[in-house]
Every structure is written in C-alpha cells, then in structure tokens.
Chains A and B, each alone.
Chain A
Amino acid sequence: MANVTCLGCGCACDDIGVTVRDQRIVALEHACPLGERWFGDGVVPARAVVRGAAASIENAVTRAAELLRGGAPALVYLAPDLSTEAQREAIALADRLRARLDSVSSDTVAAGILAGQRRGRATATLGEIRNRADLLVFWATDPSTRYPRYLSRYALDPVGTHVPEGRAGRTVIAVDVGGNRGPADAEARVVLAPEEEVAALGIMRATVLGRKLGGLSRGLTAAAALAERMSRARYVVVVHDAEPAPGAADPEQANGLVGLAQALNGPTRCALSSLRGGGNRSGADVAMTWQTGYPFAVDFSPGHPRYRPEESAAMLGGRVAVGLIAGAVSAVPDAVMRALDRVPLVVIGPRATEAPRAVDVAIDTAVAGIHESGIAYRMDDIPLPLTGFLPGPPAAAGVLRAVARAAAPEKAP
C-alpha cells in the first residue's frame, strides 16, 4: 500500500507506505516515530463487553441504547481516532438524545477556537506555508517532537513555488517562553518570561500597527524589534502549538497570536499555523460546526444546539447521568474521565475493551485509516481520504448508527 494517510499527529501525512503480511503491518515507509506508534502492527481487539462479560455486538448495542435512552442527561464525547463519518453519527446521536456533546477540543484548543470566533483569523494551509513562507516564527514550540514531519515535509525544508531554495530561502526565529523553546537551530531567538508572553504579543501587535511604546523590559523590547522584522518579510508564518498541555498557556496567548497574525497582513502577508494533535481532532470541530453551527461544547437539551464553551465536558461532573465516549478512550483527558467517574459509561471506539476503568458497555471498533475508510482532516482543515487496508472490527460509524436507531426511535421526545 502506498500513499496511506497517517493520523499519528495532525500533520496527516498521506505518503506512508505500508507493507502487510499475514494481516499485520510489518513495515512502514516515511513514517515518523509517532506514525510508527499510531500504526503499530495494526492488530486491535475486536470484542464487545457488557459489564465485564463478553457479549455479541447486537446485545452490546441494545444495552448501550437502553442506558442512553432513559432520558437522563447524557454526554456524548468525541475522542480521537474516529473517521468524520463516525463523528457525524455520534453528533446525530447526541441530537436525538438531547445530550451534551463535546470533544477533546474543549480541553486543548478551546482558547484558540474562541479567539478565532471573536476576531477571526489569518491562516494558510500547510502547502501554502511550504510554497511561500520566507520567515517562520516558532512561538514557544519546537514541532519536532509532537509534530515530527512538520518541518521536513511542510514548513521548512521543502522547495516551494515561491521559495525555490527550500530551507536556504527561509529564516527561522525562535521565541522561547520559559521552558517552551523554539527550534534549536533558529537563526535568531527572543527569550520571554512566561508572565511576559501575552504582553509581548500585545506590544508586537501595537508595533505592527505603527505605535511606539517606551519603557519596556528587555524581553518586550526584543519582541517589538521582532515585530518590526516580521513586518518587513514577504510571507510570515507564526507557528504555535494549539494543543499545549492543559493549563500550560495563558488563554489570552491565542488571542494575542490571532491578533498579531491579522495585523501583519497590513504591512505584509502573514499566516498563523496552529499545530493540532492526531486522530482527526480537527474533523470533530469541522463536522460539529456543519451539523450544529458550533465547533465543540454543544448542549442539545433545549431541542436545538446551544453553545456552552464555558461548560466543557470536564466540568459536567454531577450534571450528566450517563456517558458515551466515541473514539479512542485512552486519549480522553483525565479531567473528562473524572467527570464521568460515577455514571454509567458506554465506550465505542478502537480498543474500547481496554478502557482504563470499568465501563458498562464497551464495543471495539476499527481504527479509521487502518481498518476503516472514510475521511479525516489535517490540522489545517484539509480533508484527506482514509483507506482501510486491514480486516478488523466493525466501523464505529455503523455501530453508532445502530445505537442511535435502538436508542431513539423515529419519534424523539
């Protein structure tokens, strides 16, 4: 198999070569360490479990439906490793159950999404970064660990239509914020204390808008100088990790980055590149938006979607009486698992039966992109095809649809 899409991180590289022998992956081409981990050998459990005992899929679906349809407030949670087809089914189910609906995004990229809703944003797809960027500013992030091929495949090394020299045609500047450092081989660095970070972004935006500010600290002075330099570049790309560890960044960082990138489009061109994790996370935002109008944190209880970003899934402990996790349960943030601590839980997704806690119903499904075809979104919201190339458990989309049919017959409450 050639040109397989990898969902190991949000780069969604679609050039992976896969060698399969005896229904196992035995070799990968072009895959980074994250990709190798994500593909593994392609062998996943294919079981269904009800209260710890093996069950047929049909019985597990029936039991899941019984738990969900009682009318008790439900949370439907989109974890990673779902195809967008499965995400759509999970959203439909939440609509029918008048449930709360949320995804990993509320715990990772919420601040960035909200800043983007308040201000808008200036961005570009990864290929446009590759083809045009002559100045890259890495804001408190070095993509090489969490997004291993971002630099080599997209942003930095390749030759682009407007950057025929490739890496030699680009300048890299690192902004180090506390322990979050930019790439080691940057041509220049700006060092900021964490408490200076948002102020620096404000100063930089003010500078781009042509305002002079005096009496600044050393870090802020350097930030202002960086802003001047960015204003003189041809096509600036600001790269940040949109999914830092929870609580790692001031939520206003996102506002500052969005605002800076927008302002730079006065004197020059600028795009903000927001790095996203793997497993089709962006797809959850995209599908929720087209079906409900909101990218995460939806409350269907009024009978229509209502946006509740200030009440993310992790904050719903005590307010929901049953939970459905669709997708890879191992990637659900601890805080969300805690919120679901004492309520009946259904898990439908890859390796569901290996959930870290006892659940009422677990149904193993295919991994989208290994056993299941469909589409998934890259971190820049570009849709890519997934091709199932190994036999495996049933696709999550079909299981979720079956649960929806059993849980909420045509006439909804």
Chain B
Amino acid sequence: MTDEIVLTLRRPLGGTVDAAELAPEGWGELSGAEIGRRGVRVSGHGDVPVGELFDIKGERSIRVRFVGDLTGVEGLGSGFDAGELIVEGNAGREVGARMRGGRIEVRGNAGWGAGLEMSGGVLEIRGTAGPRAGGAPLGAKRGMSGGEIVIRGSVGPEAGAGMRRGLVAVGGDAADGAGRAALAGTVVVFGRTAGAAGQWSKRGTILALGPVVPLATYRYACTYRPQYVRLLLKYLRDRHRLPVTPQQLSGFYRRYSGDLAELGAGEILAWTAE
C-alpha cells in the first residue's frame, strides 16, 4: 500500500481513449501490475492495457493521480464513488460523469460534459470546463442529481442543463444556457452569465454575481437579501475558497422568477452592487 498511485502518461495519446470502464475507485485492492493490466479502449487499437499508456507508481491506494495531457481520454472517473482522483493536466469529455461520491480534481481544463449526470461527490476543475458541465446528455431530461461541481475558470454552454439537485459553481463566466431546462438545483456564476440562463427551467436557482440579462419569460419579483444566499456564499468561500466578497455576502439581490413558459418556480438572483 502506498499513499497514492501515480500514472504518468508515457507519450502523447494518438487517438481517443475510452476510460469509462477503468473504475479507479476500486484500485485500493490492486497492485501496480494489476492496474497496468486493466484495459482501456483506444480508437483504432481496441483494448490496450493501461500500463502501455502510463507509467504506474504505487499500489493499493484510494488516491489516484494521473499526470499528463489527458484531453483525449474520455469518461475518466465515470461512476467514481469513493476516494480521490487527481488529473495533473487536462481531462477529456465526460470526466466524472455519473460520479456518485469521492472527489475528482482536474488541475487543467475539462472537456464536454464534465460531471454529466453526477449524483454525488465533488468535482473540481481548476481550469475551464466545456459544454454541459453537470448537465444531462443531449436528448435526456435529467442532468446532475447531487454533488458539487466547482469550476474555477469559465464554463461552456448549458452548464447544469436539466439538473435536478446539486450545485455548479463557476468562478469565471458561464456561456449561453446555464441551467437550461433545470428541474431544480443551483448554479452560481461569479463572472458574467450569458444569455438564456434558466431557459425552460421548472425550478432551481441561478445566482448571478456578475452581469446577467434575464429572459422575457422571467418576471421581476423583488430586491432582497436572501439568507440562504449568504449561507451558500459563505460555504463556497470557506469550503471551496471561491473569491466571495463582503459586498456579495451583505448585498441585495434582484429576484426574477421563471421560466414562466414552464412551471415558473425557478429563479434568477442577480447581485446588485449597491
């Protein structure tokens, strides 16, 4: 048993690697050699042992660290349910998809669908994330149903699309359609929230700390200081070290309710500096 298992990419990946079946959460019982024999599917090459792609150090640990540019690796940490998985580099599409617990940290950028349909645990992305972080697969109704996604950079379109519970916190800007068709859940955006936020959503909260222009089907309700926003922001500051200002903690928020084209039980809370 070692403190961690470190997998260092031997050479740049030629094609895409499907890592959805890799299940690193179960490596607490495996030796380095056993891990090395586990297969991933490499496009055009079929199943390839992990050991051919990565140099593996350590064994029998629930802390796993990947080192290298894993932009071409898809589905890393799919269904992750315990332990810690760190990617020192970029991760490809669907990192942490359907994760249920534990913690995944991507120190670079993440591709399409980070934390897609996740139900628990924490997914932290230090760089930027692509479209549909915490969202539903295209054509599906339900996105993430629990857990937390923290993106320190910006996020692509449709963050939290179809989400049903849980939290997506974005340190930078959120592109179009954040929280689109959400059933519930919370999206917090520290930067600019682009258009169509909360479109077609039934319930849920979009907390916009930067500029936001609500859709025509969101109706202004009031300006107030919601207690739970204060609690949420304190949590994000203390737990995830996001840059919450005192003004945001004590400030007023304009509440817009919508989407009135749906249930209308959702809200956009826009921080007002004064």
Q: Give chain A's interface residues, CB within 8 Å of chain B.
A: 71-73, 113-114, 117-118, 198-199, 201-203, 205-206, 209, 211, 213, 216, 220, 252, 255-256, 259, 301-302, 307, 309-310, 319, 321, 413
A252–B44 touching, CB < 8 Å: no
Q: A73-B15, A203-B261, A307-B139 are in contact. Are A301 and B43 (CB under 8 A)?
A: yes
Contact with A along B15-47 (1 / 0, CB 8 A): 110100000000000000000000001011110
B181–A118 touching, CB < 8 Å: yes
Closest to A299 in B: B18
Q: Which residues of B contact A73 (CB under 8 A)?
A: 15, 43-44
| B41-76 at interface with A (beta carbon < 8 Å) | 41, 43-46
B190 close to chain A: CB less than 8 A: no
Closest to B131 in A: A310
Choose among B18, B137, B216, B262 the residue that contacts A199 (Cβ–Cβ < 8 A): B216
Interface size on B, as a range, is 20 to 34
Q: Give chain B's interface residues, CB within 8 Å of chain A.
A: 15-16, 18, 41, 43-46, 112-113, 131-132, 136-141, 162, 177, 181, 196, 199-200, 215-217, 219, 259-262, 264
Q: Which residues of A contact B141 (CB under 8 A)?
A: 118
Give chain A nearest CB distance to B85 CB in angstroms.
22
B217–A202 touching, CB < 8 Å: yes
Q: How far is the CA of A203 from the CA of B259 in the complex (A)?
A: 10
B196–A252 touching, CB < 8 Å: yes
Q: Which residues of B contact A220 (CB under 8 A)?
A: 216
Give chain B nearest CB distance to A16 CB in angstroms.
36
Q: How far is the CA of A209 from the CA of B200 in the complex (A)?
A: 13
B260–A199 touching, CB < 8 Å: no
A309–B139 touching, CB < 8 Å: yes
Q: Give me 5 other A-B pairs in contact (C-beta within 8 A), A206-B260, A309-B139, A319-B43 excluded.
A: A198-B199, A202-B217, A213-B260, A301-B41, A321-B44
* A-B pair number, CB within 8 angstroms: 81
Q: Which residues of B contact A199 (CB under 8 A)?
A: 215-217
A309–B138 touching, CB < 8 Å: yes
Q: Which residues of A contact B46 (CB under 8 A)?
A: 71, 413
B138–A114 touching, CB < 8 Å: yes
B138–A203 touching, CB < 8 Å: no
B217–A319 touching, CB < 8 Å: no
Closest to B141 in A: A118
Give chain B nearest CB distance to A139 CB in angstroms.
16
Give chain B nearest CB distance to A138 CB in angstroms.
21
Choose among B15, B113, B215 the residue that contacts A202 (Cβ–Cβ < 8 A): B215
Closest to A250 in B: B196
Q: How far is the CA of A88 from the CA of B242 in the complex (A)?
A: 53
Give chain B nearest CB distance to A197 CB in angstroms.
12
Q: Mind listing 23 A-B residue pairs with CB under 8 Å? A: A71-B45, A118-B141, A202-B199, A202-B259, A203-B216, A203-B261, A205-B262, A206-B217, A209-B260, A211-B260, A213-B216, A213-B217, A213-B219, A216-B216, A252-B177, A252-B199, A259-B200, A302-B18, A302-B41, A307-B137, A309-B139, A321-B44, A413-B46
B18–A209 touching, CB < 8 Å: no
Q: Which residues of B contact A309 (CB under 8 A)?
A: 138-139
Q: Which residues of A contact B200 (CB under 8 A)?
A: 202, 255, 259
Ranked nearest first, the 7 interchain pairs of A and B with the lowest CB-CB distance are A117-B139, A202-B261, A205-B261, A202-B217, A206-B260, A309-B138, A206-B261
Q: Which residues of B contact A319 (CB under 8 A)?
A: 15-16, 43
Q: A206-B260, A319-B15 are in contact. Are A113 and B217 (CB under 8 A)?
A: no
Q: How far is the CA of A114 from the CA of B137 in the complex (A)?
A: 10
Q: How far is the CA of A229 from the CA of B261 in the complex (A)?
A: 17
Q: How far is the CA of A402 from the CA of B199 in the complex (A)?
A: 49
B261–A259 touching, CB < 8 Å: yes
A117–B140 touching, CB < 8 Å: yes
Q: How far is the CA of A213 from the CA of B112 in the complex (A)?
A: 36
Q: Which residues of B contact A72 (CB under 8 A)?
A: 44
Closest to B157 in A: A251
Q: Which residues of B contact A259 (CB under 8 A)?
A: 200, 261
Give chain B nearest CB distance to A338 CB in angstroms.
19
Q: A206-B217, A216-B216 are in contact. Are A113 and B139 (CB under 8 A)?
A: yes
Q: How far is the CA of A211 from the CA of B262 in the complex (A)?
A: 10
Q: Which residues of B contact A117 (CB under 8 A)?
A: 138-140
A301–B261 touching, CB < 8 Å: no
Identify the interface centre among A201, A206, A321: most chain B CB within 10 Å of its CB.
Answer: A206
